[in-house]
């Protein structure tokens, strides 16, 4: 059992919501979106939904997990995940997401701007998630995208922070015709006033669908990368 060495206080279930496609089991490919906003149905959700609608047109389902509504412990560098089936010593929603990842073909990270950066609970989630899954079998290379939402400023720095997680995880970063950022404090502001942001999300969904189909078509023709054991070189010893 992967949980054998984890001091578990409470099993936490994950509610995934398929926000477009009615019958996920009928889809050959699925994308997982992590919503790091405290507001489950705020601007971040609607930005993800626009991308999901384009994926759905290509027969690709998208499930969304709302991460940002509860406090999460940060990584304590205990490295138990290295010997515990990739699971974190903090048994919460992060471990549930780790279990889900191999079943998905792509990943989207989305969150609002908090003081020019990622909201605290979502950063704690991503720190632990990406560290624990460095060598997770069945994960990568897969397409992934990051979406930042802001009221006024901080979108670029937040998007860069989100991108840092994708850049060191053997993931294929998916972009759009502009930075993957949208503006709005309320969903209506975004959907009705940020026409460029709305279009950017649609293009993002189409680009991810195309990459997913290219990867699928290459199976059995072009072998996937074979990863080496990671080498770590500390500058100070």
Domain boundaries, the chain: 16-216
Q: What is the pTM of this model?
A: 0.88
CATH number for the 16-216 domain, one of 3.40.50.360, 3.40.190.10, 3.30.450.40, 2.40.128.690?
3.40.50.360
Band (82; pLDDT cuts 50, 70, 90): confident
Q: Which two tokens stand for residue 135?
A: 């060598």
Return d(Cα 207, Cα 203) in angstroms, integer: 6
C-alpha to C-alpha distance for 224 and 102, rounded to whole angstroms: 15
User: What is the C-alpha to C-alpha distance for residues 158 and 154, in angstroms, rounded to an integer?
Assistant: 6
Residue 111 Cα distances to 43, 52, 170, 181, 203, angstroms: 9, 16, 21, 10, 19
CA-based torsion, 67, 69, 74, 78: positive or negative: negative
pLDDT of residue 25: 54
Cβ–Cβ under 8 Å, residues 201 and 47: yes
Rounded mean pLDDT, 134-156: 87
Tens of pLDDT, residue by residue over 88-102, are 999 999 999 999 999
Q: Which two tokens stand for residue 54?
A: 């384009």
Can you tell me the distance from the alpha carbon of 163 to that of 14, in angstroms, rounded to the nearest whole number? 24
pLDDT at position 56 is 95
């Amino acid at each position: 059992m992967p949980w054998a060495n984890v001091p578990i206080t409470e099993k936490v279930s994950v509610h995934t919501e398929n926000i477009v496609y009615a019958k996920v089991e009928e889809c050959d490919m699925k994308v997982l979106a992590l919503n790091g906003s405290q507001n489950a149905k705020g601007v971040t959700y609607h930005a993800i939904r626009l991308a999901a609608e384009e994926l759905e047109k290509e027969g690709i389902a998208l499930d969304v997990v709302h991460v940002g509504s509860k406090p999460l412990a940060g990584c304590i560098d205990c490295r138990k995940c290295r010997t515990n089936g990739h699971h974190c010593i903090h048994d919460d929603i992060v471990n549930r997401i780790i279990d889900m990842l191999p079943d998905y073909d792509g990943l989207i990270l989305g969150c609002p701007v908090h003081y020019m950066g990622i909201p605290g609970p979502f950063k704690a989630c991503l720190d632990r998630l990406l560290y624990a899954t460095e060598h997770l079998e069945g994960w990568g290379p897969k397409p992934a995208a990051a979406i930042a939402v802001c009221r006024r400023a901080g979108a670029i720095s937040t998007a860069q922070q989100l991108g840092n997680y994708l850049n060191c995880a053997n993931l294929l970063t998916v972009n759009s015709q502009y930075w993957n950022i949208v503006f709005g404090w309320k969903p209506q502001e975004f959907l009705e006033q940020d026409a460029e942001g709305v279009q950017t999300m649609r293009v993002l969904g189409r680009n991810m669908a195309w990459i997913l189909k290219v990867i699928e078509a290459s199976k059995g023709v072009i072998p996937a990368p074979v990863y080496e054991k990671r080498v770590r070189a500390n500058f100070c010893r």
